Every structure is written in structure tokens, then in C-alpha cells.
Structure 1
Amino acid sequence: MAEPRVLVLVRPGCHLCEDATAIVDAVCAEQGVGWAERDITDDPELTARYTNEIPVTFVDGKQHDFWRVDPDRLRAALRGGR
């Protein structure tokens, strides 16, 4: 099974994370690509690095955005037109 192209770092109870994952889920379904979410509180290094930027979105292993996800910008990144 291929690695998901999109990764979203989240934290429990984060309303921005809920908004971001809903957008990522819809765009990835529309584009036919996989995505995953990862809770930063499970990893002290991720918590230290990203605690003030949550949610953080990665596309193909590269940081794409933080705080909010713009659906059009995410579509462009998935098409390679970042």
C-alpha cells in the first residue's frame, strides 16, 4: 500500500484541526489520493516543533501549510502546481 500523499498534524480538541481535516478529506477524495492524520501529542519532538502551528499540512513529505487549509491551494499542490 502506498504512503498517503497528504499528512495533517493535529492535536485533540483543536477546532482548526477539525476544519482542516474535513477540507483535506474532501479534496483528497475528489483527487483520489490518500491522506493521514497524526496526533502531535504522541511525539514530544513534534509537540515541541509544531505546537503553535497546528494543524500542519504536508504534501508529498514537504510542509504545505499551517493553521488553515485552502482547498484550491491543496488541489494545486496535489497536481504539482504548488
Structure 2
Amino acid sequence: MTIAHSGDARVVVYSRPGCHLCEVAEGLVAEICADTGASWTRVDITSDPDLTSRFTEQVPVTFVDGAQHDFWRVDPVRLRKALGRTP
């Protein structure tokens, strides 16, 4: 199963429209990335059947530097620590 290409973003949030947890996670990721200078992007899982199948019950799912980091909730301390490392 393939993961959607995230470009050059260090953090990718896989989410779906209307998901409250996704909105909260995206807000935290945006804030932390702004503080750390890291780039981030969101990917709507409903735009790809493979992503929908893979992540439907776990969204939001965050990836950092291409590796799955968290799902359902973003731990701000853990994300800051991960972003402190060089990719």
C-alpha cells in the first residue's frame, strides 16, 4: 500500500473533512511547526481509496520525516522532540 507523497514537508497529517480530532491535531501541528520552523502539510485520506482503507479508523495520523509518529492525538512534547532532530 502506498502513502501519498508529502513533498518536502517534515510533518504530514493524514485527516478527513469533518473530523474534530483532525482539526485539533492540525492546529497543534501548525503551531509547533511555526515555532520550530518545520514544514507541514495535510493529506485528505478521502481523496485516495488506499489511504481511506489504511487510515479510516486512525485519523488523524501524523508522520514525521516519513515515519508514522502518532494517531488520534498529537503529543506536543513528543512532536517537538522529534522535530528537534535533523531529518
So what's the TM-score if we normalise by structure 1? 0.94
> Which of 8, 18, 25 is equivalent to 2:13?
8
> Which of 21, 27, 46 is equivalent to 1:22?
27
Alignment of 1:44-59 (within 5 A): 44-59=49-64
Amino acid at match of 2:53: A
User: What percentage of aligned pairs have identical amino acids?
Assistant: 59
**Residue matched to 2:3:** none
So what's the TM-score if we normalise by structure 2? 0.88
Gaps of 5+ in 2: 1-6
**Residue matched to 1:72:** 77
1:34 aligns with 2:32: no
RMSD over aligned CA atoms reads 0.9
Amino acid at match of 2:36: Q
Alpha-carbon distance in structure 1 between the residues aligned to 2:68 and 2:30: 17
Note the C-alpha offset of 1:79. 1.3
Gaps of 5+ in 1: none
List 4+ stretches of structure 1 deviating above 6 A. Answer: none
